[in-house]
Amino acid sequence: SAYQYGIHRPKGYTVSNHYNPEMEKHHFGPTHPMKPWRLTLAKSLITAFGMPAAMDSYHARAATHDELSNFHAADYLEYLATAAPQQKPPDGSESTDNKFNLANPDCPLFDGLYNYCSMSAGGSLDAARKICTQASQIACCWGGGLHHAKKAEASGFCYINDIVLAILELLRCYKRVLYLDIDIHHGDGVEEAFFSTDRVMTISFHKYHPETFFPGTGGLSDNGPKSESNPGSHHAINVPLNDGITDDQYGEMFKTIVRKAVDSFQPEAIAMQCGADSLGGDRLGKFNLQVTGHAGCVEFVKKLRLPLILFGGGGYTPRNVARAWAFETSIAIDCHRKIAENPRIPDHAPWRAEFRQESLLPSLEEILGEPKSNKNTKKRMDEIIMHITEQLRFVNK
């Protein structure tokens, strides 16, 4: 099918994909929104379109305890590795054991949890090493992107912060790393981890509605601890958005802000979290992005021609998650135009029935889900850009 689609290795650069099929076998619980099998769907689309012929595929190994301890606390890792899945108390009440925020309904202790986390981190670390040695110019790890995990705390479906670990690896060979986050949730764990360094700039685009939307941080003026002695001052950028944002408005914000940030910060490498819960029709999200709008952000970043890691992240309507990450893989290997010309999912693709319209790029009607009204005014968008432009005056590399 690579032949059928005319897909071949891109000229002049190498793309790698880091993936471990064992990850998908893990379950957070029957009604938990995080479904690791969305990775199976994504992989099956990537394969059906013949994309593996155009990239280096690596079986992601599990990260070692030592590697995880580059960011995480020893007692937390110890507990993650040994805590048994919890049985509900017989009286039906919720568990009270909330050590390290584990066993709360967002972050349940499930069978094989430690394996799942270490494979996610292993893929992201492998990706970072390929970028460091320049064996790859773009590395994809769709099983990573777990941006909420803290040093000694699980949060929002995330236990191990594979992104922080990967960026720490990039910092061994690149002076400055730009982190971009298009998941609908605030990338709080990554932001906090690099609050006190000027070698990482973080930019998260997210829905911001502190009373009702997780995690409640990431306001426009939340830019980290500001002080003369903190070199990381001004290096945390937040783009708080409202429900219903469209491709055009989001794309305009993304490009304007990233262009300005790259000009002032002059990064040597980019780590981008591509959470797919910012797509329309997501089970948890409330934005209106289409696959082409979401992927347009990836395409814009790719054109900067800096070493690049693409992570997965959120995404709770599995068929749309798979579509987005497959199309973004095609952007990485530069065959997205061919795919856009003929987006029909090949007949032999397993899971094809999952994709109702049987196209990689669904029509607007299908993906939108409930039509949402756009609560983002032009005035507010201009204010946000103004604030960030001012903030970037303090960042001159």
**Which positions are annotated as active-site residues?**
186
> Which is it for strands 269-273 and 56-59: parallel, antiparallel or unpaired?
unpaired
Q: Does residue number 158 form part of the binding site for ligand ZL4 (CB under 6 A)?
A: yes
Q: Does residue number 179 form part of the binding site for ligand ZL4 (CB under 6 A)?
A: no
Residue 163 Cβ, how far from ligand ZL4 at the closest point, in Å? Answer: 10
Residue 109 Cβ, how far from ligand ZL4 at the closest point, in Å? Answer: 13
CA nearest neighbour of 34 among 122, 126, 116: 116
Q: Which of 2, 53, 132, 284 binds ligand ZL4 (CB under 6 A)?
A: 284
Say which entry of Ca ion, Zn ion, ligand ZL4, none residue 206 contacts (CB below 5 to 8 A, set by partner kind): Ca ion
Tokens for 290, please give them.
Answer: 């289409």
Residue type, 6: G
Closer to ligand ZL4 by CB, 31 or 221: give it. Answer: 31
Sheet containing strand 200-207, edge to edge, reads: 56-59, 15-19, 138-141, 308-311, 269-273, 177-181, 200-207, 236-241
Q: Does residue number 143 form part of the binding site for ligand ZL4 (CB under 6 A)?
A: no
Tokens for 57, please give them.
Answer: 């595929």
Residue 303 Cβ, how far from Ca ion at the closest point, in Å? Answer: 21
Site string for ligand ZL4, 296-325 (x = CB under 6 A): -----------------xx-----------
Strand blocks (E) in 183-326: 200-207, 236-241, 269-273, 308-311
Closer to ligand ZL4 by CB, 283 or 344: give it. Answer: 283
The set of residues, in sequence order, having a beta carbon less than 8 Å from that of 340 and lying 6+ positions away, is 292, 361
* Beta bridge mates, 58: 18
Tokens for 311, please give them.
Answer: 């992570």
User: What's the CA gap between 298 and 86, in Å, rounded?
Assistant: 39
Measured at CB, which residue is nearest to ligand ZL4?
314
- Residue 123 contacts residue 21 (beta carbons within 8 Å): no
- Residue 288 contacts residue 374 (beta carbons within 8 Å): yes
Q: Does residue number 146 form part of the binding site for ligand ZL4 (CB under 6 A)?
A: yes
Tokens for 336, please give them.
Answer: 């997205």
Q: Does residue number 275 form part of the binding site for ligand ZL4 (CB under 6 A)?
A: yes
Contact stretch for ligand ZL4 (CB under 6 A) within 27-35, 78-86, 111-119, 322-330:
27-35
Which residues contact Ca ion (rule: CB under 5 A)?
181, 183, 187, 204, 206
Closer to Zn ion by CB, 17 or 273: give it. Answer: 273
Closer to ligand ZL4 by CB, 13 or 110: give it. Answer: 110
Which residues contact Zn ion (rule: CB under 5 A)?
183, 185, 275, 277, 314
Residue type, 185: H
User: What's the CA gap between 139 and 59, in Å, rounded?
Assistant: 13
Closer to Zn ion by CB, 126 or 277: give it. Answer: 277
- In Å, how far are 15, 16, 137 from 54, measured between CA atoms? 8, 9, 13
Say which entry of Zn ion, ligand ZL4, Ca ion, none residue 214 contacts (CB below 5 to 8 A, set by partner kind): ligand ZL4
Closer to Ca ion by CB, 273 or 317: give it. Answer: 273
Q: Which of 126, 191, 277, 334 binds ligand ZL4 (CB under 6 A)?
A: 277
Residues that bind ligand ZL4 (CB under 6 A): 29, 31-33, 105-106, 146-148, 156-158, 183, 185, 214, 275, 277, 284, 313-314
